[in-house]
Structure 1
């Protein structure tokens, strides 16, 4: 029996869930740690495009569901020719602490699925670390971090 693969990752951030939520849905804030450009704010039912600083292509995003301060979900081409669901759950741990859980999936347990699992798990770990650095210390960890991908 072939088991499906799913990414599950989480990180605690020393900020209130409302602040973490806004840093994710607001493209101006998101450009300080994840993307370089967005066609708009994340809102339920909205189709957006994101530009990443290290790639020429734009990524199509379809926002599925938003619960302010608690939950964000969207679909995107998380793997080649495959639309995947990303879910972000924000849990208040204390007044100024949020546990952000991210899941993405599912993919079949094949060579392509394992490649996706490795690449996107790395990507979501980078997203979480970059978001934490931005919100807690006003540092953009992503700036220049992937310039080597542009070099030949």
Structure 2
């Protein structure tokens, strides 16, 4: 009998098939207009020179993101690490973490795979980042699928309703 490998708290992976083109999925991640339709209340991207980014984000751009259900001072800031223009997008997230998004063809479908890595392994990070981010990404990937396949946005936009999976 083999001994099971210990759980790796430094990363997680989640995947979802989406009936949409690679281009539509990529644009949903890499443009202000796209990412605000399924993920964020507001997304601001600026170039490395501090100029507002129009169109697709580029490597080195900085971002400020805000979600429905949270006050304006609750925001995430980070940097775009990679953006290849077609099927790979990577950014910093939750402090020192890295999130990589892969858009792949598999068994005649388009699959989005998200990997969050470089998660610290202290108790606070294991629950606050690993567990919470995994749950959050699971919902938001399902919402991306819902939005791209049927135009339905599942996010809770009522700021008076708290502690739900959809915000």
CA distance in 2, matches of 1:93, 1:2: 27
Identify the match of residue 135 of structure 1 among 134, 148, 155. Answer: 148
Identify the match of residue 89 of structure 2 among 72, 76, 97. Answer: 72
Partner of 1:63: 80
Is this contact kept in 2: 1:42–1:48, CA < 8 A? no
CA distance in 2, matches of 1:3, 1:71: 23
- In structure 2, do the counterparts of structure 1 residues 3 and 9 end up closer, same or farther at CA, with 3 Å as the change threshold? closer
Partner of 1:26: 31
Paired residues for 1:7-18 under 5 Å:
7-18=12-23
Task: State the Cα distance separating 1:55 from its structure 2 match.
Answer: 1.5
- In structure 2, do the counterparts of structure 1 residues 16 and 93 end up closer, same or farther at CA, with 3 Å as the change threshold? farther
Partner of 1:107: 119
Gaps of 5+ in 2: 1-5, 46-55
- The alignment covers a number of residue pairs equal to 145
List 4+ stretches of structure 1 deviating above 6 A: none
| 3-state DSSP of counterpart to 1:117 | helix
Gaps of 5+ in 1: none
Task: State the Cα distance separating 1:109 from its structure 2 match.
Answer: 3.7
Q: Is 1:5 the counterpart of 2:10 in the alignment?
A: yes
| 3-state DSSP of counterpart to 1:23 | helix
Partner of 1:93: 106
TM-score by length of 2: 0.77
More strand by share: 1
Q: CA RMSD in A?
A: 2.3
TM-score by length of 1: 0.84
Task: State the Cα distance separating 1:23 from its structure 2 match.
Answer: 0.9
CA deviation profile, 1:21-63 (whole Å, cap 9, x unmatched): 0111111122121101111353211011111112122210200
CA distance in 2, matches of 1:13, 1:35: 19
Task: State the Cα distance separating 1:3 from its structure 2 match.
Answer: 5.2
Partner of 1:42: 57
| 3-state DSSP of counterpart to 1:107 | coil
